[in-house]
Copies of this chain bind each other. A is one copy, B any other.
């Protein structure tokens, strides 16, 4: 079986290519009879339209670009899933690239996406990215751009939107909840503050303590790698160095929380009765730990959906030659209380 082109269909039907094109696009100006004939033959010959040609001719590819640090792990696959689903609904296909957390690859991928004529790009930054000239260039050339999660701070302008999570609010909720559970000496395991997620979670912690009239004890704040090993080490240090253990731990991510929990249990203390524990991100394994881990759900899919919608808005505006209205969306995370922090019966 040979590949059949639209022109080929036209010949066999004694029609012009334009009519066939219109028939296949279900234009109203084509007679029903003709449409039927065209469709029938297209079906018979298994005609497959060539999107590349169509896109070239139209000057619109119907493709959106996605650039993420990686497509493994918990967070990004979920976001990408949201993006892919929402884009598909809107009739777009997506082209997905990974930077592997490498600024150089990020730059290359941006070019790749452009060369493939994507109509807009959704990006979450590689954590090594310092130089943002490649994004500046996109902005200047009017390529609609949406940053999500890891955004370029203070990078505003026409054609650049962003969707981020309110990490501060998430952390605040967690700490508030711990206080409500009767905890008074709440430790915090933080990641490096140059990463905005950790900075904001850290600030949420401080603000929640302040707003509830609790003193801030710097000894209770530990900067550690946000991994299980990091959490383990941090917790060991606290138990060793403090006169009495804290009555709660809020870790900036779930892995560190798990590490802490293990150490607490190994020390003969009970979770949550002696030490309540909470993490952040609502990883899959939070319902597999013992006890199940209280965490903050980030609504990953929602973030993907938002990103696509923001991009679509900009595309519409661009198409209508109106000034695009960049928007910044801040998503509210959701506290999920599980056994690891629940000391009082649920209301």
A residues neighboring B (CB under 8 Å):
1, 3, 46, 48-53, 55-56, 61, 70-73, 77-78, 80-81, 84-85, 93-98, 111-112, 114-117, 137, 140-141, 228, 255, 258, 262, 284-285, 287-290
Q: Are B61 and A70 in contact (CB under 8 A)?
A: no
Q: In the bound complex, do residue B115 and residue A48 qualify as a contact, i.e. CB atoms below 8 Å apart?
A: yes
Counting every copy of the chain, the complex holds: 2
22 contacts between A and B (CB under 8 A): A3-B141, A46-B137, A46-B141, A48-B114, A48-B115, A49-B115, A50-B56, A51-B117, A52-B117, A71-B71, A71-B81, A77-B77, A84-B98, A85-B98, A93-B97, A255-B288, A258-B288, A284-B284, A285-B285, A285-B288, A288-B288, A289-B289
**In the assembled complex, which residues on chain B have CB atoms less than 8 Å from the CB atom of A255?**
288
**B3 and A52: CB pair below 8 A?**
no
Q: How far is the CB of A73 from chain B (nearest CB, A)?
A: 7
- Give the shortest distance, in Å, between A202 (CB) and chain B (any CB): 24
A175 to B290, CA, bound (A): 27
Query: Taking A1-B141, A116-B52 as contacts, is the C-beta distance between A77 and B84 under 8 angstroms?
Result: no
Find out whether the CB atom of B71 lies under 8 angstroms from the CB atom of A80. yes
> A95's contact among B70, B72, B95, B112, by CB below 8 Å, is which?
B95
B61:A72 contact, CB within 8 angstroms? no
Please give the distance in Å from A62's CB to the nearest CB on chain B.
Answer: 10
Q: Which residues of B contact A55 (CB under 8 A)?
A: 52
